[in-house]
Structure 1
Amino acid sequence: MPSNAIIQCTSSSSSPATHIYDVFVSFRGEDTRNNFTDFLFHALRTKAIHVFKDHQDLEKGKSIAPDLLQAIQASRLFIVVFSESYASSTWCLRELAEICNCFETLPRRVIIPIFYDVRPSVVRKQSGCYEKAFAEHEKRFREDEVKMEEVQRWRQALTQVANLSGWDIRNKSQSEQIGEIVQTVINILGPKMSKLPKDELVGIESRVEELTNLLQLDLVNDVRVVGISGMGGIGKTTLARALYERICHQYDFHCFIDDVSKIYRDSSSLGVQKELITRCLSEKNLEICNAIDGTYLVWTRLHNARTLLVLDNVDQCEQLKLFTGNRDIRRCVGGGSRIIIISRDEHILKTHGVDDVYQVQLLSWENAVQLFCRNAFKVNYILDDYEELAREVLSHAQGHPLGIEVIGSSLFGRNVSQWRSALGRLRYSKDRNIMNVLRISFDQLEEEEKEIFLDIACFLHNHFYYNEILSIRGFDYENGISALIEKSLITCEYGDIYMHRLLMDLGQSIVREKSPKEPLKWSRLWDCKDFEKAMLDNEASENLEVIYIECDLLLGTVRADGLSKIRHLKLLKLEDVNFSGNLNHLSNELAYLNWKEYPFKCLPQSFQPIKLVELYLVGSSIKRLWEGTKPLHNLKLLDLSYSEDLVEMPDVREALNIEKIKLKGCIKLPKINPSIGLLKKLSLLNLRNCKNLVSLPNTILGLNSLEYMDVSGCSKLLQRDLVSYLLPSSTFPSSLTCLRELNLSFCNLVRIPDAIGKLSCLEHLNLEGNNFTTLPNLDNLFRLYHLNLQHCKRFKYIPVLPSQTEFPSETCKLPLPYLTHEDLVGLILYNCPELVEREHCSSMVFSWMIQIFQSYEVRCSRNTCSLKLRPNIACVIPGSEIPRWFNNQFGSMDNSIRIDTSPVMHDNNWIGVMCCAIFHMDIERDMTGYRYIDRSARIPPVDLRSDLVIDHSDHMWLFYLSHQDFGERRYDCRWYTSYNGVISVEFTKLMMDTAEFEKGEHQYVKVYVKKYGYRWVYEQDRQLPNSVDGSYCTRYRKKLELVFYGFTTARL
């Protein structure tokens, strides 16, 4: 460190100088660039110090460039890095001379010399290498008197600066020296720099740096306006204050206006204008008569000044418009100014045209633990015996700084027993300080937005089908959800909505607040215990509109007649609730009825569901819904799945707006009501495993809007020659031509008619478990992207597959299979022991898979493939050898596949990986080490029930993974895990639940992977050549097959 105080020029001039830069660094690039000076620049900028750096390495000529001269004059502090060849550069010497000139003539300038690899005495006396450099200068300019005078000034400048106290960093730790230099700069630049919030503000440093980057302080002539948004109590003001104190000294005028909303309410726009001018100009007795005068005064005082302005808690657009007189706020301040607007409502910021918005995020788990410990224990770690309780608090606060601080402080000094008691109260009695802060955002909502907020807080959080519920409730959910997102009250990711736990507490408290102990007086019921209490009450309810109960607690029996007294109930969902008594009535205002395992034989006869939109009675005891017909003019969905006692489908002649009917697993249902033919809007019909169903009405052929049909497991329909009946050639093309998905699995079909090839819209065809030997040509089904032929034990010949496949567009209402449990794209040809010509089959299948893969990747290249709906491209066919095209091949030592993407992760042309695994299945007797796996997560994607599998030969599983699947960390995938760019697919022991087909027995199987291979796929593999020459495309495709799969003679 320097032994003496660094000399600072104390010019008597009192005129304010405009400091565009905090620091100007003079250095010789070839000596220190890319090492010491780069580290120094980084350290300075990390502390939000605005530093100028000349990026040009070459000599510029005879004089300093005007921009560089201006930068020197506009800098407050100069750092001169002396190195061995510094004096050899006339550019550096002219720079130094100008620095000394500014030091002597301008006020409050400071010079800090740093001796990088040269002794201070060498610089001071111009000896050694500096003596040689000046000898060259004097030789060069000896005939030019003016230049020789300039050389003399260079000598004087070197001597002057070398005499100043600085840093001799030769043979010292550069990192330590840089740290000391930066701290000295901070101390010189201003008193606020020494008050930087460091350890006391957890997680602030990274946020300040991110916000600094958005402000783009290097753009010295631009005016930038940046917004800060986030939920209440998340630290918006704290962040802005921390940054403000770090950079405010760089500006001619600076002002942080706290709580603009309150000032505006108390004193209108005049108050905000007066606050700004008073703080910036220190005029305490300022008189402003009206808003126009105030606007003019703001403009005249600040429009030429470099200003830093922070406006905190802006909650109305008018507060900004009136404050600036409807003038763009950028025009009210001078070049280089920065304006920060803080608001919970991102819509206000966007309306005002900010350049960027910084969304303040919740604290990470590590920072949340640190903040909590400081408040609850006054140390940086969790005390013994408190860990479980502390985690409970942190899980509830979910990284919310205010919540963590308030709850943590309230627990300080209490023992474990007191903690448990306090946390028990916290579940039902929310902290008022936290709720008051959060409620501000709720109170600013429109009335319908408040209702949507309360619905989400009480029962729709983390709910994928929230839009359907809100629409049924009669809300404008699109605008309502957008408003809540903009006000930082919810977030939306991949179609799901999320609300912070504390905001959920707020919403639930608001619903309860007027009658906290009388749930029948609330508008919504969502808690099991509150519901049980309400049903015991013998009073009628006029306020209750929603009951949404998904019980995770064991309740006693609830009286059903309590529901009969709720007169204005609009939404009812009940799950895992035991009822006693009789249900005499349901509210005629119900728009949504979802009662899992409905315990009664029919709905109340007095129930007139004229407003009902969706009816779910899954797993019910219903025999028939009601006698005769009911006015169901608004009904769109009817779901009676797994109602095993259902013997009669309801008459739907007065329900002509139905779009979906689900009767899956209604095993006693013998027939379908002919009125179904009147449903011209019906798009989905699910009759899966209606094992007693013997006939379908002729009227079903009139369902021209039907897109999804599932009659799998309806084996008795064979008596009517099911497929020929559904697809008689005489009716084409008028009947069922809109079908996109058809499931005919396990229907004992012995023949598939040619008519199926005319379903031009068909995308997904499931023929699993049937008895046919061959299929008609499917080459005209250009939209077909999934074909399931597994367990077809008599199947011999693969059909002609489409020569070109159009991958389904996401503009479709349901871009992936709706009825099936898999989102597969490809072909499943497993356990077909009679299959012949397997080599030809493989070649044809590969060709089709190429088409699907390329169609999919083309769509992804256009950014139309969402992460939420990205399908599983896969193919399972007989085979025991990995094709040579897979140039990375391995034997499986631990029955798993592992793919490390580090060699290609940063290659911009890499788009994914094609994988191949050889596997077979065995029955296991030893049941240790097994885990249950549901049918949507099978590895590989085939049905492994031992009663079906008779072909135990090797099969090949081909699948494709996009580069998007290799995230930094993903555990939400169904059948693989990804961590730091490594994909793992484990072939574990599986316990397959066969309850859906048999009597609830379990079977134990194990899949063995013998070997696997993979190959990286690059951008150039996306498309076949564009050509109108069909023969050329055909030749190219055949060639591609050979290359793509390593066939030398079109054989495996």
Structure 2
Amino acid sequence: MERVGGISGWVYNNSEESDLIQNIVKRILAELTNSPVVVASYVVGLDFRLEELVELLDVRQNGLQVLGLRGLGGIGKTTLAKALYNKLARHFQCRSFLSSVRENFKSRQNGPEFLQKKIVGDLSSHKVPPTFSDAKSYVLEMKRILKQNRVLLVLDDIDDAGQLKELAGSREWYSEGSRIVITTRDAAVLPTDFVDKIYEVKSLGKSESLKLFSHHAFRRENPTGAFLNLSKEIVSCTGGLPLALEVFGSLLYGKRIVEEWQDALEKLKQIRGPELQGALKISYDALDVQERSIFLDIACLFLNLEMNREDVIDALRGSYFGVETAVTTLVSRSLIKFIDSEQLWMHDQIRDMGRQIIVEENLSDVYGRSRIWNPADVLGLFQDGKGTRDIQGIVLDLEKKNFPRDKKARAIAWQQLCQTPNFTSAITYFREIYKEHHHRYATKDGEVILNSTSFESMVNLRLLQFSNVKLEGRLKRLPAQLKWLQWRKCSLRSLPSDFFPRELAVLDLSESKLERIWGWKWCWHAQQVILMYIIVWLVSRFSYFG
């Protein structure tokens, strides 16, 4: 009450009611504008940490301040960085928050150019941000904006010093008063000549952990009765990691039989040390067989395809009954989320747990696994014709790229590796090998050419995603069991009459050049088209079908 009494407000009298309403609306809109990123709906232990960080960055000082947030995966670095960004946003007209840098940086679909473009777009004062044809121009524009403006820049989840160099440059790039925040699991990627201070994000205390766990397990602040001591024991086993507390609490929500809790506790005790993925896998093991399979489809195949809830359900509907119920279960267990206009999202620790399950299906042979998502593995599969009956899902999402034509690149990278043998030079060399391998399949338009004969042995393939790929050979070789086919930027002018997978539920030909389908003329005006058919009829999901 004392804090409330100290908050200033507006004096109201009857003659100023309209003015009061206008002021309140303006204030609310201003607050909404100054909270540009979404923070988790329920958090604990944030206020004190936030106060410490605000004090460390002290926006009243003119000098450049670079702050690193270091901590274990799942400990809440991103949540803390988002809250800090929202707290400081009103002090900076130029600001940018880059999420999942590590994942985007290594993505063929996004990559460093995508992130540099986003920084320029976020910080630019133009209503329509400038666009450039090459990465160098974006870097020059970044340097210009950063030097002329006081900026707030947050880089979330950096795992390599090279990423920091490409996205944040050097201290000389920035004007006085700018603030940069970097989150990472490894303090070694934060160079001392760039970063002023490193803040160690620690695990939650016992009372905070109990409160967060209780919220997800009981939807109340504290457990009661027979579950109080059990809750305390579970909390002590999670190491105070917010992600583990949320997932494990969600697992036990609605379960009110003490023996079920005791069983879950025993499983948790068997995990030695702060093995987060082991704790997360307990929630996975509690799913039924179909829910596990759907979870693995999402973790391995769907995450980078910018899908919303409806897209996910459509893609899975042909493979499973009761997909909506299963997806709802995964959401209630905090294994997946739909955020920012129903966009699919999964914490990278949960994603890695799911992908590790697939890796352990066959440790020695990637083509003996049920789902393949790494572009190099998929290209190798088609190069060597190693398709197997084990494969159920494949994703090969390749945006149009300018493939390398300089054959000296590999030799230069090798020379650099010999002169300076370190992790970075080794990665550069293997990247050039991969580019040369990829180039052998590329057309002048950037399409990747694959042979359809590799599909003949993939009799259990259910889910297939291509982007910017050209198939040589007969489409009839695609497996009859195929349920979902997304072939974006398909260059075919028509689908042959012998291509008619009898169990196909969804055919997505977005951004394709298709003019005829099974001999019928096909036209549309929308950029994206999803076709669904049952036996012999098609229903257009978008604007026009004729």
Question: Which TM-score band applies after superposition, normalised by the shorter structure?
Answer: 0.3 to 0.5
Which structure is higher in RCO with an 8 Å CA cutoff and minimum separation 6? 2
Question: Normalising by the residue count of structure 2, what TM-score does the alignment of the two structures yield?
Answer: 0.44
Give the structure with the higher percent helix.
Answer: 2
Structure with higher Rg: it is: 1
